[in-house]
Structure 1
Amino acid sequence: MNEMELLYCDLQRKKAEAESRLLEYRKRLDDISGQKQSITIKKIHGDLYYYSQYRRDGKIKSRYLGPVSPGSIAEEERKQMEIESLTDEIRELQWNIESLERMTEYLQKRRKKEKIVDSLLFEVYWKDEITARVYARGSDVIISRFTDNPGKQLFAEKKMTRYQLGRIFELRCWEKDRPDINEILEYLGLDEYNPYEIVKKTHGVSCNDYIWFRFPGEKITSKDVLVR
């Protein structure tokens, strides 16, 4: 199981735990059979009385608790403190669950993309001369090199990591932080900056050389892609 799969499983576990606690806190709140109320003191005919106030149907309601005396409403105060604590816990858990859902949704998209590019094959050309054939599966990348000319060859070795290949893709793309990158991505029909998806659209061409990529199924030559 790779790092992304482990992270996805961890998020799922945390979400399940949060949902379980949310159900528990909601049940405890229901068992208390009350809503958050504020306790006030009213003076009536010269005597002081405790009242609880709460909102119902858009109106403020009052409930008599008893005359003011030390500790006479301690039980009600403890109840209100527990209601407030549970309400805060529920609110925080709901926020955490929403955050975990967003993170899980993002990872699901990344997992789909990762599966799509798990196996990758493409050819590298200098003008119409093939210089390399690249095959990637999982984290391993194998390169068949057909020239040692450094002006034509992108790959110095016959093997590399997926990360190293990703860096080469990045070097064949525009800078991620250039001011108009969002407009460029929109023009290419892409939702995010993904070097692999970009080079599939641009064939990895650059104004600095005559190197370009051909992906399986493409019947094209250098005249179709090069900008020089």
Structure 2
Amino acid sequence: MTRIAIELVPRECQELVRELEIVKDFFPAIDMINIPDLLRYDMRSWEGCAQAKPYFRQVIPHIRAIDIDPQQPLPMADFLVENGIREVLVITGDPPQDMSRLIYPTTSVELIAKFKKELPHIKVYAGIDQYRTSIRSEYDYLRRKEYAGADGFFTQPFFDFRLLEIYAELLEEREVFWGVSPVTSDRSFRYWEAKNHAVFPKQFQPTQEWNQNFARQVLDYVRRIDSNIYFMPIRTDIQKYLAGIFPGQSE
């Protein structure tokens, strides 16, 4: 059965609760919340998931590997257990702009193994960055994460359906959440191309309508192949964006 998630940014508690209420009240097809760990905000991802728990049973915090001292117990372990958070997404994490913040040379592979050792009941997802290197190299990296204990994967957002189909064939029978994110300005388009090396089709348009049509296409596809999807509405009115993907559910 297809699971549908949305990624909500934990800017501050009141705003997060407002967005949770919108999703819960108007879009019942969405059954999971995943929350990134962004250093520019005070709320950590697992704290945001605790806020989301009264609204959604399934919540997934992002855990940054470079923030974790491999020689010490997982610092959020007790919090996860006490708040009934049973799934996490392990990512490497970008270095902080403020280099006075302590980071470690911990890799995603090492952190996945650490979770499996210290919290074996936790389901661990790992990231797939289809723009990082070649398809072959990314697949080999995925296999190393599986060997460390990864139970499933979250991709970077896709914008080209043909590339998604290639990865879906390659990752057949694995649990994957396929990412979709709206890009509705030339500035955002240039960011995704320049910083993340994203691939866009020739017919791409930075409009709400194009992005909603693409999201519906991906949603229909993952339902056909019995896979999963997550939406990442960056700098977008989530109610307007989701209303174009789930028509009739936003009234």
- TM-score by length of structure 2 reads 0.20
The structure whose Rg is larger is: 1
Tell me which protein shows more strand as a share of its residues: 1
Q: Relative contact order (C-alpha < 8 Å, sep 6+): which is higher?
A: 2
